[in-house]
């Protein structure tokens, strides 16, 4: 697809950016749109995945048909089958009439399933059948019905890891992933960040009839070097905050930093994350990266202790009559205190307490954190989940997983 066509698509759908990764994603969407192949869009939350199903639909032969976007994560597990496939009257409590599902009403059009990784396993099996045969059965019915729907799915989860954990069907993954489209995170589009900032501040100025704000050079660098865990959505929110709150229309780096959160859950500086990416280490989430950083810090501390110990032993050999008490302390509960004293009579090292280093896995640390949180709150899961910064549902799953 010609570059001019990609630029026209950006203008039509309000997509800002010039990064090669973004252009590649748009190009794939344009190439696959005339077909009926299933598309799986992956990328972090807030990266702009919702634009691509619309591009695919508008440039397809189904563009005059219906288009529905469904957030699978927002529909309760007990009603998701009814929402997607419909139900018959009396099929369950509250089913006072027959209802058409999204697969039926979007016949001849496009159905976008956002957060498809949140679907329960029974629903995944029914979805696989629709994709393979075009057939589905309403809840409470025995009649097989047909639907001609183009399916586009999106997720911010690592479905390969979900498959390994038994939370996502492998056959469904390969059926959805006929054509993959990866939407790059904002931190991988550094040159696009100032462009997006100018667009958002211009829109805000027009909406509220105020002068747009401008950034100094150092503020632009600060903006580009921030990690942006919330991606484009977070950038827009912060831009609007600054536009409304700040009276000064020229924003420097110090002012900008006041609006950049420094204590996001699981957030690390870009530099640290790049180190682990360069070492080909994969993590399920940023909290696991944080654990790994702590482990590496503990290892560095152990190495430092060894260096100090070697220095002490070397000094003993040259100064046999000296007395040097040494005490090691560490922030970790898993390393005991080691005290070493030099005996001036025997010229050797006597260790009052020997420390042991226990290599802990990420899962063991997580299990220990959960156990301690539950103990502090006398087994109250709601309070423990709040302290840990996770949902009560996730905590319940972890309790079963670790047999706590």
Nearest to 217 by CA among 176, 256, 182: 256
Whether residue 19 contacts residue 184, with contact meaning beta carbons closer than 8 Å, is answered with yes
pTM: 0.64
Residues of the chain with CATH 1.10.10.60: 362-402
In the chain, list all ranges with CATH 1.10.8.60.
187-257
pLDDT at position 293: 65
pLDDT at 5 over 80: yes
Count of alpha carbons within 13 angstroms of residue 45, beta-carbon side: 9
Residue 191 has pLDDT above 50, yes or no: yes
The side-by-side arrangement of strands in the sheet containing 39-42 is 67-71, 110-114, 150-155, 39-42, 179-182
H runs (alpha helix) in 177-263 = 192-208, 217-225, 231-245, 253-257
Q: Given a cut of 80, is residue 306 above it in pLDDT?
A: no
Of residues 67, 65, 99, the one with CA closest to residue 83 = 99
Of residues 167 and 285, more confidently modeled: 167
Angle between helices 192-208 and 231-245 (to 10 degrees): 50
pLDDT at 302 > cutoff 90: no
CA distances, 171 to each of 102, 129, 268 (Å): 22, 11, 35
Identify the residue with better confidence: 214 or 327: 214
Rounded to the nearest integer, the mean pLDDT of the chain is 82
CATH no. of 187-257: 1.10.8.60
**Per-residue model confidence as pLDDT tens digits over 15-63:** 999 999 999 999 999 999 999 999 999 999 999 999 999 999 999 999 9
The predicted structure's pLDDT at residue 151:
96
Instruction: For the domain covering 362-402, report its CATH number.
Output: 1.10.10.60
Q: Summarize pLDDT for 85-108 with one digit per residue, the tens.
A: 999 988 888 888 899 999 999 999
- Please provide the CATH number assigned to the domain covering 3-184: 3.40.50.300
Confidence of residue 380 (pLDDT cuts 50, 70, 90): confident
Lowest mean pLDDT among 39-43, 177-181, 292-296, 385-389: 292-296
Every domain of the chain with CATH number 3.40.50.300 lies at 3-184
């Amino acid at each position: 697809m010609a570059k001019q066509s990609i630029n026209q698509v950006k203008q039509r759908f309000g997509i800002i950016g010039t990064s090669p990764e973004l252009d590649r994603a748009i190009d794939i969407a344009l190439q696959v749109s005339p077909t009926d192949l299933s598309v799986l869009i992956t990328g972090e939350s807030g990266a702009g995945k919702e634009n691509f199903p619309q591009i695919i639909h508008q440039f397809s032969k189904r563009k005059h048909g219906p288009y529905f976007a469904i957030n699978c994560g927002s529909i309760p597990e007990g009603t998701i089958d009814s929402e997607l496939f419909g139900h018959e009257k009396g099929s369950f409590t509250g089913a006072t009439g027959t209802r058409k599902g999204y697969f039926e009403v979007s016949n001849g059009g496009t159905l976008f399933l956002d957060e498809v990784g949140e679907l329960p396993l029974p629903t995944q099996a029914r979805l696989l059948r629709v994709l393979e045969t075009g057939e589905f059965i309403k809840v409470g019915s025995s009649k097989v019905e047909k639907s001609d729907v183009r399916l586009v799915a999106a997720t911010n989860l690592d479905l390969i890891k979900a498959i390994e954990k038994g939370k996502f069907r492998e056959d469904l993954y390969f059926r959805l992933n006929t054509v993959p489209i990866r939407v790059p995170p904002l931190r991988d589009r550094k040159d696009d960040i100032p462009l997006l900032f100018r667009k958002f501040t211009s829109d805000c100025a027009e909406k509220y009839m105020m002068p747009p704000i401008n950034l100094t050079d150092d503020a632009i660098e600060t903006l580009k070097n921030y990690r942006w865990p919330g991606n484009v959505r977070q950038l827009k929110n912060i831009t609007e905050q600054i536009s409304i709150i700040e009276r000064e229309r020229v924003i420097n780096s110090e002012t900008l930093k006041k609006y950049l959160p420094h204590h996001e859950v699981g957030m690390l500086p870009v530099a640290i994350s790049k180190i682990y990416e360069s070492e080909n280490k994969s993590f399920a989430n940023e909290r696991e990266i944080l654990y790994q950083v702590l482990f590496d810090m503990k290892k560095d501390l152990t190495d430092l202790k060894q260096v100090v110990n070697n220095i002490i032993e070397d000094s003993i050999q040259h100064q046999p009559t000296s007395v040097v008490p040494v005490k090691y302390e560490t922030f970790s509960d898993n390393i005991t205190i080691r005290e070493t004293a030099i005996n001036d009579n025997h010229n050797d090292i006597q260790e009052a307490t020997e420390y042991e280093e226990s290599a802990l896995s990420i899962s063991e640390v997580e299990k220990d954190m959960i156990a301690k949180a539950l103990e502090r709150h006398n087994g109250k899961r709601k309070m423990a989940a709040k302290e840990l910064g996770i949902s009560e549902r996730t905590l319940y799953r972890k309790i079963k997983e670790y047999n706590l």
